[in-house]
Each structure stands twice: as structure tokens, then as C-alpha cells.
């Protein structure tokens, strides 16, 4: 049997009604900051539960523009997670600021209790990364944010509709940054991103920043970027957003099935599943003994398992100048040796899921 | 208000009607591959551009603005560097300079809206890291002169060719004179996608390799990051559309050139100034710009008679609110400022009928003859 990782082929195989919408849209020529985009932004804000949402070119840009909007610039420090995807750090570096790393805990998100000692006079913001569909401990982080008056920009790229105590990712901080990349839970046919916020001033500033600082066609009030979500992609987003809750529900159902079965395998450890968290499983990850061989075995058996990521961010060549040692972020390091990701998306059927479980069982029985 | 016989400035709806049956198939095919970032169509696009404008390397990106930003980064322009450019461009050229932390140093323009190359040398300082001419409207700068200065002072050229795909100077394509050429394929450009997209071109292998990484987070593969880059990739879907439209580019440019010729034949030069193409230029007329007195009245008059015109651009960059920190004032660039009050862009798209151009020219000529206000 074959359990593929990318389901993009299945997702859009049968959607004649979307094609009708797209054809109708293209004939309007309304390609840049057009009407369907405005509609999408309204729907997105409503889905997440913020006053405003703004379509931008990518999740990376959602972070970059957010940081820029709250005034992060050259020489500032921004605290973030040591195990994130490169884009978080790239956005910080692009503004001339310096990333200051905090280790994660077994939820793959930054360990909030480690932040305090990293705060300096130069700290301008904290970027918690709701990695893999988990949530950073936001209630605790908000306390810290208030105490030190440090704004929070949430990297919610992998956690759309994730929540703690029913409060969604992207609604806690000054802004929330989302990605609509083809491999994300809610996806379009290209790079794409969204920023959510409740702050009208920040919203107005972001609107300028994403479109060259143009107040209207002829007046430029600040120096901005070109970072717009294509209106064409917004048409796809509008079609997909009503399905968002169902997609999330199905992923959670799949994850529960895995959890139940894997909890009976002694060589597998399941990360904590706190009751007040809604985890949306952009990635379904467990800790596995003899991970490298398990990965090889799965691949051989037609299961496209992956590792997110085998080299943690802080050990990448691009951060060589920081002279980090492996043991500087011990939990992130340990994870990189034991984590494995199994396909968990909404298009998998029960037979495929059971095949994954059976294969993992078999691998350990063999030994 | 749209009148039945009104003449629009752009005609994307007509373009779609013309290409619909073929484009839908192409879009469907591209989507069904399930490959929406990178992939075959993007590679094909890069190869097509190589052939179209005769350059060694092409990197497809998210926008023309990004091409400029990345281009400057690749030339090692950074905090406290200076870049010489013009104040009559679209804001993106100066925006890119500001965003890499450098300072834009403006030189005024010539009557034909191109960079006044005679003023470049006196603006060069030890901090100058690049010269950025803008081939505005599809009309190419005097690249002989600019290249000469670039060689003399060993300062690289980055060409803003966003509006000038296919334009030539001495038979050499816009974007291939400097170290790096930057292009846009925004929906309103001559070569247009249906969303933001752009690309940069170079003959320098080292720059190319670095640009490739830059556009994808600095990642050499899924798990290794060499340096911090951007997320700036051309959508696969847009690449597939551009591949199709590239086949028609030459014809489209010819149609626009015919339209321009007709304008130049019919407009009364006593009242209307426009620049003739020089013998060593081949312009592609992304825009057709005239310079006139009583510009605002003429614009209103044309609008009243169903002709949609635009101004590119009514407020020069050095006088924008965003430029306050640069401490420029009114009068610093007299030619640019004068033109901002006299320029008017007439419809020039490939779907114009001859009769449309006759109508527009008649209106303009009679406006001045009769002194209509």
C-alpha cells in the first residue's frame, strides 16, 4: 500500500464549482487587491475571531510586515523558538534585527519559562511559533508580555484554528501570521499569507506596508513592500474557508486514531495532549526509538514519513556566526534525533491509517 | 461612467476573451500536476526568458519589486550605501533601495523621461554601490553613456526594466546591460500574469546561484539553510500562463508600436510634445506618454468624451510623504517636477482600433485648436 505525504492531487480533483468561479473571476481582470480578496479577508477574520485580516504574499511576509509594523528594526532583538522553520528567523533578520533563541518543550513550542532570562534592553518583540499545529503556552506568555511590555507577534503559520481555552491562535498577540502555502491545512495554489489583528492602527499600517506605502494611486506615505495576496488565490480561499472546520476536525480524528494505537507501542512516546488545547495537527509527530531505521522501514513500505526537521534551526549554517553548540538548546536537539512525522491529512482513509499503524508495530516486533 | 463607445486605458477583459479557450486548458493542466510552488513550468519560463532577451541566467520571483530588492542585496548594497536613481519612477525602485537600508540619490531626468546621464558623475561618492536607471514606459535609457560611467567608476548597474521587456538599445535587450536586470509581470504589464510576479536576469553565474538561494529562504535543500534569504517565488500557475503569453509577446509589442506610430503621425506637434524613438532605440510602449500644457483640463475633457487616460506619476518620489527623511525639497529636480504637471498617458494597448486612435487624436487636436476648457 502507498501512503503519500502530499494530498494536493486529491484535494482539487473534483471541484467543478471552483472552476466556474475561477473562470468568471479571470474575465473581470480584477487581479490586484480585488473584490474577492476583500471578501476573503472578512471571512478569514470571522473564522479566526479577530476584527481584521489582511492578505499578503506569504507567511514569511506576514511575519516580516507584522514586525515592521510594530517598529522592529536594525539592532533590535526578537525572542523566538530555536526549533522553528527558517522563515521565522529570516523575517527577523531581514529587518536587521537579531533573533534570540529559546528552547522548546515537548509540545514543540517555546518553553515560556525560559524567556525571562533572555530579555534585554534591546528586546523589541517575542515571536512564539505555534509549531506543527500545537499552541505555545499563551496564557503564561501574555502575563510575561504585559509585565515587560513586549508585544507578541504569533507565528501561527502551522496552527490555523488551533486554540487554548477556546481562544484561537492568531488572536492573542498584536498580530497573528498565517500561511496559505499549498502544504498548509488551509491552502491556496501558490504562496500566500494572512495577518490577523484587533488593532485598527496596526491594520491601517499593514495595509500601507503591503502595497508600497501607497495611500492611493498617487500618494506614498511610508516606504512599503510589494506583498499582496493574489486575488485569484483569494477566490480559491473563499471556496476553501467554509470547509476549514471540517478539515481540522478530520485531522484531529485521524490523530486520535494514531494516538490510541501508538500509545500501546512502548518504543513510541506521544507528546503531551493538554485538555484545554486544541491541536490541529498540521504535522502529526511522535518520538520514536531507533528513529532513523523506522523512517527507512516506513519509506520502504510505501509510507512517506518525514522529519521536521533533522537539523534544528539554531545549528544551520546561516547562524554559524552565533557559535551555538548542540547542547545550547538540549530539548530541540534531542527532538531532532527522535521525531518522526506521519501523514495525517483529511484525505487519508482508514485503511491507510491502519496500514501506517501496522507497519510501525511490525518494525518494532521484528527487532 | 462607462459609455458604450468609451475607450478604456487597459483591456484585460478583452485579453481574456481572446485567450480563454487555450488558457483554461493550460491552467487546468498546471493545477492537476499538484505542483504549485516551483516545478516544471517555472523552469520552462526561466528558459523562455533566456531566449527572449538573450541572457544567460533567469530567476523567477514573486514581483518586480522583489527583483529590485534581491538584486540590490546581491550587489551587496546595504545600510549606509548609496544608490543613484531617478525620482520620476513608480515608487518600487526607490522603495527597494530604502528597504535594504541604503540611501537613494536622485538625478533629474531628460525631456524624454530617461535618466539624465550627464548628472550621474557628480553624484558619485565613495558610498555609491549601484546605479539604477529605470526604463520607464518601455523607453530605454541611453545605455552607452551609463555603461561608460559604470565602467569608469567600477559601480555596477541594476536596471529597473519592469516596464521594458523586449525594449532594445543598439539591438541589445533592456536588462542585459547591467550586472542585473529586474522585470515585472504584474497584470498591467506588457507581459502579464494574473497576479503579482517578476524575475531577475544576469550573466553572472555567481549572482545567479546566490539569487536562486535568496528567493527560497537561503535553503540549499529541504533541511539546510546557507544564509538568510526571502520567500520570493513565482507561482507555478503564473509561470504556466506567462509561458503561453510569451509566444504572443513579439506580436503584441508590434501592435503597440503601430499604435504609437499612428499617434505620432496624427497628433499636432505644435501643442503636444512626445519623444521620437532614436535610431538606436527599440521601445515597447508599455505606456504612451505625451507632455502638454493644460494637462488636467485635457484629461477631464477626454474623460468627458469617453477616453480613459492616466498619469504616471503626478507626484514625484522626492516629494512623497515617505521621502521626507531624505530632506529633498520642491525645485531640486525641475525637469521631473515640470513633467509631473504635463505628462499624460494615452491608451496604447493591443486591443485599440485604428478608429479609437483617430478619435483620441481628433479630440486632443481640437482641444488645443479651439481652446476648449
Q: Contact A191/B37, CB-based, under 8 Å?
A: yes
Put simply, whether A278 touches B (Cβ < 8 Å) is no
Please tell me which residue of chain A has the smallest CA distance to B311.
Answer: A218
Nearest by CB: A9 against B34, B37, B235: B34
pLDDT band at B34 (very low <50, low <70, confident <90, very high): confident
Whether the predicted pLDDT of B316 surpasses 70 = yes
Touching A: B residues 281-340, CB under 8 Å:
311, 313-315, 317, 320-323
As a whole number of angstroms, the distance between CA B354 and CA B256 comes to 12
pLDDT band at B2 (very low <50, low <70, confident <90, very high): very low
- Give pLDDT tens digits for B73-117: 999 999 999 999 999 999 999 999 999 999 999 999 999 999 999
- Rounded to two decimals, what is the model's pTM? 0.86
Cell readout for A148 is: 515587560
Residue A81: which of A257, A329, A247 has the closest Cα? Answer: A329
What is the pLDDT at residue B371?
A: 73
**B325 min Cα distance to partner chain A (Å):** 10
Q: Contact B228/A318, CB-based, under 8 Å?
A: yes
Cell readout for A37 is: 480578496
| E strands in A85-218 | 98-102, 123-127, 153-155, 163-164, 167-168, 175-179, 193-197
Q: Contact A90/B226, CB-based, under 8 Å?
A: no
Put simply, whether B160 touches A (Cβ < 8 Å) is no
Contacts of A304 in chain B (CB under 8 A): none
* Angle subtended at Cα B269 by Cα B265 and Cα B272, rounded to the nearest 5 degrees: 110
Q: Hey, how many other C-beta atoms are within 10 angstroms of the C-beta on B359?
A: 16
**B214 min Cα distance to partner chain A (Å):** 10
**B73 min Cα distance to partner chain A (Å):** 11
Chains A and B form CB pairs within 8 A to the count of: 159
Q: Contact B63/A226, CB-based, under 8 Å?
A: yes
Q: Contact B228/A93, CB-based, under 8 Å?
A: yes
Residue B340 φ/ψ, nearest 5 degrees: -60, -20
Please tell me which residue of chain A has the smallest CA distance to B313.
Answer: A218
Residue A172: which of A206, A142, A143, A137 has the closest Cα? Answer: A142
Touching B: A residues 217-256, CB under 8 Å:
218-226, 228, 230-233
- Model ipTM value: 0.76
Contacts of A311 in chain B (CB under 8 A): 223-224
What is the pLDDT at residue B41?
A: 93
Is-contact B246 B46, C-beta < 8 A?
A: no
pLDDT band at B28 (very low <50, low <70, confident <90, very high): confident
Show Cβ contacts of residue A216 under 8 Å, excluding neighbours closer than 6 positions. Answer: none
- Give pLDDT tens digits for A160-180: 999 999 999 999 999 999 999
Q: Contact A60/B231, CB-based, under 8 Å?
A: yes
Whether the predicted pLDDT of B232 surpasses 50 = yes
pLDDT band at B1 (very low <50, low <70, confident <90, very high): very low
Q: How far is CA A17 from CA A181, A347, B23, in A?
A: 22, 19, 18
What is the pLDDT at residue A7?
A: 87
What is the pLDDT at residue B343?
A: 98
As a whole number of angstroms, the distance between CA B87 and CA B42 comes to 33
Instruction: Report the pLDDT averaged over residues B341-354.
Output: 97
Q: Contact B16/A26, CB-based, under 8 Å?
A: yes
Q: Contact B91/A19, CB-based, under 8 Å?
A: no
What is the pLDDT at residue B222?
A: 85
Q: Contact B235/A190, CB-based, under 8 Å?
A: yes
Q: Contact A27/B20, CB-based, under 8 Å?
A: yes
Touching B: A residues 311-340, CB under 8 Å:
311, 313, 316-318
pLDDT band at B373 (very low <50, low <70, confident <90, very high): low
Contacts of A220 in chain B (CB under 8 A): 91, 315, 317, 320-323
Mutation to test the B interface, candidates A32, A65, A86, A209, most B Cβ within 10 Å = A86
What is the pLDDT at residue B169?
A: 97
Contacts of A6 in chain B (CB under 8 A): 34
What is the pLDDT at residue B39?
A: 83
Q: How far is CA B172 from CA A280, B143, B146, in A?
A: 54, 10, 14
Q: With a cut of 70, which residues of chain A have pLDDT below it? A: none
What is the pLDDT at residue A286?
A: 98
Amino acid at each position: 500500500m502507498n501512503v503519500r505525504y502530499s494530498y494536493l492531487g486529491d484535494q482539487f480533483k473534483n471541484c467543478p464549482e471552483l472552476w466556474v468561479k475561477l473562470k468568471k473571476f479571470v474575465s473581470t481582470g480584477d487581479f490586484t487587491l480585488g473584490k474577492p480578496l476583500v471578501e476573503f479577508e472578512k471571512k478569514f477574520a470571522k473564522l479566526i475571531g479577530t476584527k481584521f485580516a489582511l492578505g499578503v504574499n506569504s507567511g514569511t511576509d506576514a511575519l516580516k510586515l507584522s514586525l515592521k509594523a510594530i517598529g522592529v528594526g536594525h539592532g533590535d532583538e526578537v525572542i523566538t523558538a530555536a526549533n522553528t522553520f527558517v522563515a521565522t528567523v529570516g523575517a527577523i533578520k531581514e529587518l536587521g534585527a537579531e533573533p534570540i533563541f529559546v528552547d522548546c518543550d515537548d509540545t514543540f513550542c517555546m518553553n515560556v519559562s525560559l524567556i525571562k532570562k533572555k530579555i534585554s534592553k534591546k528586546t523589541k518583540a517575542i515571536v512564539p511559533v505555534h509549531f506543527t499545529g500545537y499552541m505555545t503556552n499563551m496564557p503564561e506568555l501574555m502575563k510575561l508580555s504585559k509585565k515587560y511590555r513586549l508585544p507578541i507577534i504569533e507565528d501561527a503559520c502551522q496552527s490555523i484554528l488551533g486554540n487554548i481555552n477556546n481562544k484561537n491562535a492568531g488572536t492573542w498577540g498584536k498580530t497573528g501570521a498565517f500561511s496559505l502555502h499549498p502544504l498548509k491545512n488551509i491552502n491556496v495554489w501558490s504562496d500566500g499569507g494572512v495577518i490577523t489583528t484587533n488593532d485598527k492602527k496596526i491594520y491601517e499600517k499593514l495595509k500601507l506596508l503591503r502595497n508600497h506605502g501607497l495611500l492611493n494611486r498617487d500618494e506614498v506615505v511610508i516606504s512599503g513592500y510589494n506583498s499582496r495576496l493574489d486575488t485569484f488565490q483569494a477566490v480559491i480561499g473563499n471556496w476553501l474557508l467554509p470547509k476549514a472546520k471540517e478539515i481540522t476536525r478530520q485531522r484531529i480524528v485521524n490523530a486520535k486514531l494514531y494516538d490510541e494505537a501508538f500509545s500501546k507501542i512502548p518504543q513510541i512516546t506521544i507528546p503531551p495532549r493538554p485538555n484545554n488545547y486544541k491541536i490541529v495537527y498540521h504535522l502529526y509527530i511522535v518520538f520514536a526509538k531507533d528513529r532513523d531505521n523506522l523512517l527507512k522501514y516506513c519509506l520502504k513500505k510505501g509510507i512517506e514519513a518525514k522529519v521536521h526537521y533533522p537539523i534544528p534551526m539554531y545549528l544551520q549554517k546561516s547562524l554559524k556566526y552565533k557559535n551555538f553548540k548542540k547542547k545550547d538548546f538540549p530539548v530541540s536537539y534531542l527532538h531532532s534525533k527522535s521525531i518522526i512525522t506521519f501523514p495525517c491529512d483529511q484525505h487519508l482513509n482508514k485503511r491507510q491509517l491502519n496500514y501506517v499503524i501496522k507497519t510501525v508495530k511490525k518494525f518494532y516486533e521484528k527487532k | 461612467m462607462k459609455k458604450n463607445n468609451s475607450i478604456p486605458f487597459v483591456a484585460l477583459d478583452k485579453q481574456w476573451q481572446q485567450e480563454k479557450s487555450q488558457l483554461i486548458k493550460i491552467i487546468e493542466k498546471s493545477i492537476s500536476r499538484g505542483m504549485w510552488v516551483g516545478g516544471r513550468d517555472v523552469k520552462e519560463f526561466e528558459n523562455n526568458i533566456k531566449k527572449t532577451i538573450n541572457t544567460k541566467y533567469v530567476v523567477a520571483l514573486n514581483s518586480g519589486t522583489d527583483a529590485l530588492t534581491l538584486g540590490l542585496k546581491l550587489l551587496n548594497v546595504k545600510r549606509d550605501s548609496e544608490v543613484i536613481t531617478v525620482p520620476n519612477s513608480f515608487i518600487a525602485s526607490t522603495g527597494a533601495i530604502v528597504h535594504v537600508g541604503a540611501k537613494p540619490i536622485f538625478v533629474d531626468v531628460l525631456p524624454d523621461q530617461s535618466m539624465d546621464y550627464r548628472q550621474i558623475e557628480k553624484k558619485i561618492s565613495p558610498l555609491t554601490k549601484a546605479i539604477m536607471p529605470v526604463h520607464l514606459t518601455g523607453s530605454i535609457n541611453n545605455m552607452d553613456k551609463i555603461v561608460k560611467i559604470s565602467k569608469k567608476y567600477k559601480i555596477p548597474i541594476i536596471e529597473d526594466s519592469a516596464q521594458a521587456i523586449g525594449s532594445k538599445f543598439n539591438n541589445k535587450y533592456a536588462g542585459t546591460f547591467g550586472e542585473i536586470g529586474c522585470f515585472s509581470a504584474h497584470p498591467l504589464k506588457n507581459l502579464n500574469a494574473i497576479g503579482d510576479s517578476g524575475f531577475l536576469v544576469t550573466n553572472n553565474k555567481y549572482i545567479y546561484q546566490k539569487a536562486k538561494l535568496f528567493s527560497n529562504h537561503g535553503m540549499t535543500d529541504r533541511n539546510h539553510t546557507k544564509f538568510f534569504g526571502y520567500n520570493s517565488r513565482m507561482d507555478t500557475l503564473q509561470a504556466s500562463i506567462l509561458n503561453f503569453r510569451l509566444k504572443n509577446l513579439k506580436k503584441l509589442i508590434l501592435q503597440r508600436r503601430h499604435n504609437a506610430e499612428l499617434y505620432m503621425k496624427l497628433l499636432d506637434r505644435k501643442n503636444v510634445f512626445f519623444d521620437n524613438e532614436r535610431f538606436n532605440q527599440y521601445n515597447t510602449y508599455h505606456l504612451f506618454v505625451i507632455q502638454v500644457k493644460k494637462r488636467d483640463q485635457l484629461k477631464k475633457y477626454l474623460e468627458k468624451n469617453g477616453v480613459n487616460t492616466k498619469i504616471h506619476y503626478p507626484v514625484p518620489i522626492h516629494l512623497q510623504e515617505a521621502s521626507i527623511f531624505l530632506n529633498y525639497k520642491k525645485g531640486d529636480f525641475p525637469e521631473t517636477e515640470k513633467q509631473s504637471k504635463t505628462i499624460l498617458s494615452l491608451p496604447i494597448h493591443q486591443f485599440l482600433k485604428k478608429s479609437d486612435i483617430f478619435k483620441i487624436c481628433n479630440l486632443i487636436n481640437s482641444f488645443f485648436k479651439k481652446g476648449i476648457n
